[in-house]
């Protein structure tokens, strides 16, 4: 088939239906404006684009953890281990960790393929980290090292979805990876709405109602997705809520897909992260009781290694015959990249007390997390100070999801442009202030409500400028469209 024979009418219709708002039309417009600024400085009412649309920490100035990068550098260029003149550049524990990791890699080559689940020694390290975190054993044979959490989601959707009659329960608002992957793999998203009035609480009555309604339409609900801490909503589930969710999945025979990639990002004292693995095992349930897929990524937390594409999924509670099929899916992709595998092992086994790098590692980690907490608070207070905005407390993750009560005239102006109101607002914000946010409609929201998602990732010294620009724009916007 020649290029002229390929059209949008001839490609997979599932691709056409698929949407991913985090890099959608507002971001595409921002990139055009960035090129305009580069070509014609001073041509726009702002000097730079502030990307608050995606959880991409290092693109906004967050520095990588020194120990992690030292180990990675030594693994990628092991000749440095043999040069006395360069040893003073690296901490003693990064040198020993790199040697240990290289000994686990066949051929000591980071440029070689690995086992499809990932290098065995690195999976052993990840499993030991999970065991230490949860207090319950983890088998490295249950670990799949992946290119971030996203491929793991696609693998599970490919496994579970065979037709549009297969449904996956997803929170609304949701991270659009889930709606996109469900669409691409031909299933049906079964929404359950988080309760904004109670800080985005997951209500069991809503889960049950949506499950029953889907089944009444002939949809076979196969799995429940829970994002904890929440994206885009920033809440942290209580232990009691998690226990109810585990019971629900067992009663309904659902696979529990636990997206736990923000597990390091908790900013409140009255809550802490608990993995669903820990919760289910503490309740006395074993592998035979619940099918559980737990996701982690090196892209978030205090590490922010998005471009290195590392992560893992722990798969428990599936029969050996089903596990063979999961391994087959992993094998089709050969393996995940080795740098991401190494970083995944380091994230789950960072320097410990007494290690040469521990003090610097702890200072870097705590500095990043405490700064994120301050930024979250500043932005949360700023949104709540603006007319028409209301923003729940940011308990965790990297985002705010404030609700905006748009004036009727603004909604009418959006409709006149054939635009969704929150898209209209986000585009006007970008064009006036250079701030990139994602319209809430890209994540799902209660019909008739409007939101935006804003990251807390601009560097702390830039947050006052972000707030100032946002405030100036919003006041002008509300004045323009006030009745």
Which CATH fold topology does 113-348 show?
Answer: 3.40.640
* Tokens at 131, concatenated: 């065991």
Residue whose structure tokens are 């959880």: 55
Contacts of 465 (CB under 8 A, 6+ apart): none
Distance CA 112, CA 449 (A): 50
* Tokens at 7, concatenated: 């059209």
CA 46 to chain centre: 29
More confident residue, 34 or 295: 295
In terms of phi and psi (left: phi > 0; alpha: psi -120 to 50; beta: otherwise), the region of 324 is: alpha
Q: What is the pLDDT of residues 158-193, one digit of tens each?
A: 889 888 899 999 999 988 889 888 988 889 999 999
The listed CATH number (3.30.565.10, 3.20.20.70, 1.10.150.120, 3.90.1150.10) that belongs to domain 3-61+363-481: 3.90.1150.10
Distance CA 321, CA 304 (A): 36
What residue segments make up the domains of the chain, in order of their start? Answer: 3-61+363-481, 113-348
Distance CA 411, CA 29 (A): 21
Q: What is the pLDDT of residues 324-340, one digit of tens each?
A: 888 888 888 888 888 99
Whether pLDDT at 2 is above 60: no
Distance CA 184, CA 445 (A): 21
Q: What is the pLDDT of residues 337-392, one digit of tens each?
A: 889 999 999 999 999 999 999 999 999 999 999 999 999 999 999 999 999 999 99
Residue whose structure tokens are 């596990």: 323
Q: What is the pLDDT of residues 225-283, one digit of tens each?
A: 999 999 999 999 999 999 999 999 999 999 999 999 999 999 998 999 999 999 999 99
Tell me which DSSP letter residue 172 carries: E
Residue whose structure tokens are 């410990």: 352
SS3 215: helix
Q: Residue 1 has what pLDDT?
A: 47
DSSP E strands: which ranges in 253-308? 255-259, 292-297
Note the pTM of the prediction, 2 decimals. Answer: 0.90
Distance CA 456, CA 251 (A): 38
DSSP annotation string for 101-130: HHHHSGGG-TTS---TT--HHHHHHHHHHH
């Amino acid at each position: 088939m020649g290029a002229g024979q390929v059209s949008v009418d001839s490609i997979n219709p599932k691709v056409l239906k698929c949407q991913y708002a985090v890099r959608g039309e507002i971001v595409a417009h921002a990139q055009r404006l960035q090129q305009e600024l580069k070509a014609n400085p001073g041509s726009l009412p702002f000097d730079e684009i502030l990307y608050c649309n995606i959880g991409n920490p290092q693109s906004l100035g967050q520095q990588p953890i020194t120990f992690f990068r030292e180990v990675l550098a030594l693994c990628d260029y092991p000749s440095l281990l043999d040069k006395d003149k360069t040893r003073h550049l690296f901490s003693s524990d990064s040198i020993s960790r790199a040697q240990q990791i290289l000994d686990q890699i066949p051929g000591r080559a980071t440029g070689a393929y690995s086992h499809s689940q990932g290098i065995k020694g690195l999976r052993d390290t990840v499993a030991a980290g999970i065991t230490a975190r949860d207090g319950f054993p983890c088998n490295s044979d249950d670990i799949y090292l992946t290119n971030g959490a996203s491929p793991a989601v696609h693998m599970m959707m490919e496994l579970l979805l065979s037709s549009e009659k297969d449904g996956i329960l997803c929170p609304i608002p949701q991270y659009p990876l889930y709606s996109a992957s469900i669409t691409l793999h031909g299933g049906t998203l079964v929404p359950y709405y988080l309760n904004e009035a109670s800080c985005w609480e997951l209500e069991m009555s809503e889960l049950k109602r949506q499950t029953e309604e889907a089944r009444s339409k002939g949809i076979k609900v196969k799995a429940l997705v829970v994002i904890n801490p929440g994206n885009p909503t920033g809440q942290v589930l209580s232990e009691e809520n998690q226990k109810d969710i585990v019971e629900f999945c067992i009663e309904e025979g659902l696979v529990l897909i636990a997206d736990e990639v923000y597990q390091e990002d908790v900013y409140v004292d009255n809550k802490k992260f608990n993995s669903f693995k820990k919760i289910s095992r503490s309740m006395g349930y074993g592998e035979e009781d619940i099918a559980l897929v737990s996701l982690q990524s090196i892209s978030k937390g205090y590490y922010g290694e998005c471009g290195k594409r590392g992560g893992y999924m722990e798969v428990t509670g599936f029969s050996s015959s089903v596990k063979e099929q999961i391994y087959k899916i992993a094998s089709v992709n050969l393996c995940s990249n080795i740098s991401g595998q190494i970083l995944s092992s380091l994230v789950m086994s960072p320097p410990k007390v007494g290690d040469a790098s521990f003090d610097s590692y702890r200072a870097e980690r705590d500095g990043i997390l405490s700064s994120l907490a301050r930024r979250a608070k500043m932005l949360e207070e700023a949104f709540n100070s603006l007319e028409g905005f209301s923003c729940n407390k940011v308990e965790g993750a990297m985002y705010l999801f404030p609700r905006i009560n748009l004036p009727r005239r603004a909604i009418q102006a959006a409709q006149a442009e054939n635009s969704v109101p929150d898209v209209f607002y986000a585009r006007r914000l970008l064009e006036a202030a250079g701030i990139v946010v994602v319209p809430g409609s890209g994540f799902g929201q209660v019909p008739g409500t409007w939101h935006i998602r804003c990251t807390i990732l601009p560097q702390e010294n830039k947050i006052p400028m972000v707030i100032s620009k946002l405030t100036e724009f919003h006041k002008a916007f509300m004045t323009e469209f006030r009745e």
